[in-house]
Amino acid sequence: MSSPSSSHIQFAELERDNIGGQRSKIDVIATILYICNNGSLKNHIVGKGNFSDSMANHYISILLYNELLSTYVDNENNGRTYYRTTDKGRGLIYHYNQIQRLFATDKDHQINETQTQTKTRSSRNAIPSSDAQSAAKRLLIIDDEEDITSALKAGLEKYGINVDVSNNPVSTLSNYKPGYYDLVILDIRMPNMDGFELYNVIRKLDNKTKICFWTAFEVAFEQFLKMFPTMNEQYFIKKPITLDDLVNRIDKLIVLENQSIKQSSSSSSDLFSSSSLPTS
């Protein structure tokens, strides 16, 4: 089935800026894709969609991991990151419009029906050759957002990474296998036990596996620096992040060699080994 080109996505439901209230997930997703159709900064997504910053981060992450959004950097605009809807994302908007049309009024039917064939990226399902080093690596992601972890698992496994996920930090501890994973990624803000607390418990069970944190909250980075002043900033990943960038970060963290770490103000650009990570 063909889908409209970017210039013909005009369904009235997506034209409305105020997306607060009792909106479904598909409404929110379609709205973000529409806002980003020709490229948009995150603060524009927040403003035009009437989202909170955390809500925008959450859905942007899901869309990135499912290749519905892509990113590009505008070097002429202070290197700011823009989000842009992919062809796959435009196809989702088209199907969203078709569903909405089932319940549309006569007025809503007054839209442009011009359609063009959706472009298919031949490389979408292919694993880039540069990512061969990721094959057979074992990764554990602990994040209480199930839609985030499910999207990440599906996306990262396309790169040949073996991924286990957990949405409950407490239950994860009872089944944790010391030394089994090459890297563990911990969300920081989780119920019952936050990522920092979980880190300290895991370190008592396993002092070799590399562990890093990730979050969408800026304040968590300040807490990270205070709690782990000797840990390199590469062990902190800020959401949202594209799959390609995340895979590159994972590869760099996994291949680090053990080395003695000297704490200094200039060490932020060095790669740190897992044996140097702070223990509880």
User: What CATH number corresponds to the domain at position 216?
Assistant: 3.40.50.2300
Rounded Cα distance, 34 and 32, in Å: 5
Domain holding 134, by residue range, is 130-274
| Cis upstream peptide for 240 (omega within 30°) | yes
Rounded Cα distance, 157 and 161, in Å: 5
Task: Work out the number of other CB atoms within 10 angstroms of the CB of residue 258.
Answer: 11
Same domain flag for 13 and 59: yes
Residue 252 lies in a domain: yes
140-166 tens-digit pLDDT = 999 999 989 999 999 999 999 999 999
Same domain flag for 88 and 137: no
Amino acid at 168: N
pLDDT at 64: 93
pLDDT at 99: 83
Rounded Cα distance, 250 and 182, in Å: 9
Same domain flag for 268 and 200: yes
Residue 82 lies in a domain: yes
> 47, 80, 101 — which closes off a domain?
101
CATH number of residue 88's parent domain:
1.10.10.10
Angle (CA) 26 65 158, round 5° = 130
Same domain flag for 267 and 151: yes
> 59, 83, 101 — which closes off a domain?
101
Same domain flag for 89 and 142: no
Task: Work out the number of other CB atoms within 10 angstroms of the CB of residue 24.
Answer: 8
Note the residue count of the chain. 280
Task: Using alpha carbons, select from 228, 264, 238 the residue that is nearest to residue 81.
Answer: 238
Same domain flag for 147 and 248: yes
Where helices occur in 125-194 by DSSP H, the ranges are 146-157, 169-174
Q: What is the mean pLDDT of residues 16-34?
A: 72
- Residue 270 pLDDT > 80, yes or no? no
57-72 tens-digit pLDDT = 889 999 999 999 999 9
> 84, 101, 118 — which closes off a domain?
101
**CB within 8 Å of 205: residues ≥ 6 apart:** 173, 176, 178
pLDDT at 186: 94
Of residues 219 and 144, more confidently modeled: 144
Number of domains in the chain: 2
Same domain flag for 62 and 146: no
- Residue 274 pLDDT > 50, yes or no? no
Residue 279 lies in a domain: no
Instruction: Determine which helix (DSSP H) or strand (DSSP E) holds 165, and give its type and residue range.
Output: strand 162-166
Tokens 């740190």: give the residue: 272
Residue 124 lies in a domain: no
Same domain flag for 92 and 162: no
Rounded Cα distance, 153 and 146, in Å: 10
| Residues paired with residue 161 on neighbouring β-strands, in sequence order | none
Rounded Cα distance, 231 and 271, in Å: 10
Same domain flag for 76 and 157: no
Residue 68 lies in a domain: yes
Same domain flag for 147 and 259: yes
